[in-house]
Amino acid sequence: MNMVIIILQKKYGVGVTDFSIGFGKELFGWNDRSGTRWKICFLPLGGYVKFFGDRNVFSQSDHEEILKKYNEEDQKKLFTLKPLYQRSLIVFGGPLANFLLAIVIFASIYMFVGKDFTPAVINEVQKDSPAENAGMMKNDIILEIDDKKIKSILDVSKFISLSTSEFVDFKILRSQDELILKVRPDLIDSDDGLGNKIKKRIVGIKLSPFNNEIKHKKLGPAKAIYYSISEVYFVTTSTLKYMGSIITGSGDSSQLGGPIRIAKITGQVAEFGLVPFLSIMAYISISLGLINLFPIPLLDGGHLMFYAFEKILGRPLSQKTQEGFFRIGMFLLLFLMFFATFNDLKDLGLF
């Protein structure tokens, strides 16, 4: 995941002392010809890159002290003395690697396993359900949900469950006519198919393939990458909408999970085979990349926020101001971790 950072730092001549997969005690490692220590550590929960002369490498204001501490040759390897655009690109490289990893995983699945393109036809509308109240009928073909095209029968439940609006807009084809129907889903207690309790949005329809034909095909590289990028974009925007709904109080914050829930679900999905396991890894990678872009100090997004201030002001923020931001960032991260862990433990029935 940090390979993007390594490529960028090599390009711009930034010195790297450590490249670690995992955190904590080093299990084994080696030094390359440039002096970088590549290592595998005890806790496999991500990784990090440590730059040469690392103190507060992302936005340091005491450049005069740096110039006194290092000779001219070493100064060329210091991250903090690089132009602003180079520092920004290197920092952005971490989250970018998460998104690229997800694209590679999805593209590999679409090329070697295939992607479903089966149109969705309503086979049954349950009595007194939100769908019936909205006017849905058997044999309606679902074309779009909330202005997003239905490319597969699998998209229907995904788009409904990830919708954050009170009403879900369905575009359907009935005979030769296209209709827009507004459906207000019911929110019920259910499970995710793995035994985990969730709040589920349902509209009360059962689907079947169009003309009972399953369309599943392997894609070429170009189409696989296109659909992979589309999936990453959809997951990213849906996550942002969900986070926004939590902030405004309209979303269900009980579905926000942390490391415990991730580990639990990952283990459950792994039992279904390699493809589901790789898919969940891709979704986790997207989430990590997105969260890392949040403008919170200690995260890459926070460092990019500092760079924006530096660009606007023409100078870095003072060390004291940065320290104040880092305290706020630490509080926000600890609060988020506590809240997510509490939800995880409650999901396990410990609360």
Q: Please provide the CATH number assigned to the domain covering 116-217.
A: 2.30.42.10
Amino acid at 245: S
Burial of 24 (0-12, 13-18, 19+ CB in 10 A): exposed
- Give the domain ranges of the chain: 1-82, 92-114+220-351, 116-217
Neighbours of 251 (CB within 10 A): 16
Give the closest residue to 94 by CA, choosing from 282, 306, 286, 292: 292
Q: Which residues of the chain have pLDDT under 70?
A: 1-3, 5-6, 9-10, 22-23, 43-47, 53-67, 191-198, 250-272, 342-351
Structure-token match 């689907």, residue found: 207
In this prediction, residue 256 carries a pLDDT of: 66
In this prediction, residue 226 carries a pLDDT of: 96
In this prediction, residue 334 carries a pLDDT of: 79
In this prediction, residue 251 carries a pLDDT of: 66
> Helical H runs in 187-258?
221-248
Q: What is the 3-state secondary structure (H, E, C) of the chain?
A: CCHHHHHHHHHHCCCEEEEEEEEEEEEEEEECCCCCEEEEEEEEEEEEEEECCCCCCCCCCCHHHHHHHCCHHHHCCCHHHCCHHHHHHHHHHHHHHHHHHHHHHHHHHHHHCCEECCCEEEEEECCCCHHHHHCCCCCCEEEEECCEECCCCHHHHHHHHHCCCCCEEEEEEECCEEEEEEECCEEEEEECCCCCEEEEEECCEEEEEHHHCCCEECCCHHHHHHHHHHHHHHHHHHHHHHHHHHHHCCCCHHHCCCHHHHHHHHHHHHCCCHHHHHHHHHHHHHHHHHHHCCCCCCCHHHHHHHHHHHHHHCCCCCHHHHHHHHHHHHHHHHHHHHHHHHHHHHHCCCC
Burial of 277 (0-12, 13-18, 19+ CB in 10 A): middle
pTM over 0.85: no
In angstroms, the CA 34 to CA 57 distance is 20
| Residue 169, C-beta contacts closer than 8 angstroms, at least 6 positions apart | 144, 145, 146, 147, 180, 181, 182, 183
Amino acid at 57: V
Could you give the 3-state DSSP secondary structure of residue 97? helix
CB 106 within 8 A of CB 115: no
C-alpha pair distances (Å), 94 with each of 88, 243, 316: 11, 21, 22
In this prediction, residue 71 carries a pLDDT of: 75
CB 196 within 8 A of CB 210: no
Task: Identify the sign of the CA torsion 207, 212, 217, 223.
Answer: negative
